[in-house]
């Protein structure tokens, strides 16, 4: 074998070894990247499906208005919504939620619809357990609820037996040791085509009424607010349904999911003329999604102030 042939053979061996080393490096990089992607995907799914759906946040607000009677100064209202029991909310989750509600020692508790997810078939035993839990909610001035678009017959059975007053298209005058009340108005679901705004605001059609009464309205779908504000005296609206978008883009705070009935209003707060609109992000999730991202489940606490 000539020197040139020997050199050429050695060069081939060197190139072969170099190619083998390059291939090994590429394989190592691919394996590392794959492992990182798998770990990140696992962490993402764990966070969005379990951690971010169960770590309930309590939002606190002070509501100030000269229309609020002095007897209601310091009164606490707890608002929760969109439980969607049977999705990311089970018995233990609900027990913790109720503990959080009672820890705030509310005077009034309001629920704005979607108690049980419409894709979940609740058993009789579960229904009884759910009723007992909700019955443990304490509120000195009363517990009130309206229906969401997914609420069926068992909703009425559970909430009635849990001592909630269901005020679909109805109202109630709330007193606190004086003869100066505030008005609580409830509307049925817009999506189910059962909403009757005129009936709900029937108080203002009475021969004798206080046109300056402080009015709180409960509504499931926040887009209903436009009709309520344009036609009737409404100071505070508490709504649900939107889940505040469920998945939000950070920094710009943009909701990726917009439900019908919450296309226009889906953030947590709006000031519309003289009306404050607060929208709960809810507690459960939509069963077809089952995740949350940058949008924690919430309970809202409002402290009324006349000054």
* pLDDT one-digit tens code per residue, 74-125: 999 999 999 999 999 999 999 999 999 999 999 999 999 999 999 999 999 9
Model pLDDT, residue 193: 94
pTM exceeds 0.85 for this model: yes
Mean pLDDT score, 37-41: 58
Distances in whole angstroms, Cα of residue 145 to Cα of each of 100, 181, 265: 18, 19, 21
- Above pLDDT 70, what percent of the chain? 86
CB 216 within 8 A of CB 123: no
pLDDT surpasses 80 at 299: yes
Model pLDDT, residue 213: 96
* pLDDT one-digit tens code per residue, 166-222: 999 999 999 999 999 999 999 999 999 999 999 999 999 998 899 999 999 999 999
Model pLDDT, residue 47: 52
Mean pLDDT across the chain: 88
Compute the distance between CA of residue 297 and CA of residue 117 in angstroms, rounded to an integer. Answer: 16
pLDDT surpasses 70 at 70: yes
Compute the distance between CA of residue 233 and CA of residue 253 in angstroms, rounded to an integer. Answer: 31
* pLDDT one-digit tens code per residue, 226-237: 777 777 889 999
Model pLDDT, residue 254: 85
pLDDT surpasses 70 at 36: no
First to last CA, the chain: 104
* pLDDT one-digit tens code per residue, 265-283: 999 999 998 999 999 999 9
Q: What are phi and psi of 54, to 5 degrees?
A: -120, -15
Mean pLDDT score, 47-62: 75
Model pLDDT, residue 229: 78
Quickly state the pLDDT bin for 37 (edges 50, 70, 90): low
The lowest-confidence range among 33-37, 150-154, 220-224 is 33-37
Quickly state the pLDDT bin for 293 (edges 50, 70, 90): confident
Pick the residue with more confidence: 94 or 17?
A: 94
């Amino acid at each position: 074998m000539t020197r040139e042939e020997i050199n050429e053979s050695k060069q081939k061996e060197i190139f072969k070894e170099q190619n083998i080393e390059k291939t090994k490096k590429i394989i190592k990089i691919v394996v590392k990247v794959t492992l990182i992607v798998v770990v990140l995907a696992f962490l993402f799914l764990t966070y969005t499906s379990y951690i971010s759906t169960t770590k309930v946040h309590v939002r606190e607000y002070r509501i100030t208005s000269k229309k609020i009677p002095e007897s209601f100064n310091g009164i606490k209202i707890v608002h929760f919504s969109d439980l969607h029991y049977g999705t990311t909310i089970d018995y233990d989750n609900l027990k913790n939620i109720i503990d959080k509600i009672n820890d705030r020692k509310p005077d009034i508790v309001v629920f704005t619809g979607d108690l049980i997810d419409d894709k979940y078939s609740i058993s009789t035993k579960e229904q009884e357990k759910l009723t007992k839990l909700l019955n443990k909610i304490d509120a000195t001035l009363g517990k009130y609820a309206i229906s969401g678009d997914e609420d069926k017959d068992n909703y009425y059975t559970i909430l009635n037996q849990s001592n909630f007053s269901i005020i679909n298209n109805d109202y109630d005058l709330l007193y606190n040791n004086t003869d100066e009340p505030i008005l609580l108005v409830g509307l049925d679901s817009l999506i189910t085509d059962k909403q009757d705004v005129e009936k709900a605001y029937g108080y203002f059609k009475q021969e004798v009424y206080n046109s300056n009464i402080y009015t709180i309205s409960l509504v499931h779908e926040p887009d209903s607010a436009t009709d309520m504000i344009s036609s009737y005296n409404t100071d505070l609206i508490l709504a649900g349904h939107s889940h505040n978008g469920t998945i939000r883009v950070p920094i710009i705070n943009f909701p990726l999911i917009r439900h019908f009935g919450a296309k226009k209003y889906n953030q947590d707060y709006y000031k519309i003329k003289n009306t404050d609109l607060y929208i709960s992000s809810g507690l459960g999730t939509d069963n077809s999604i089952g995740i949350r991202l940058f949008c924690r489940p919430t309970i809202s606490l409002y402290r009324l102030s006349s000054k």
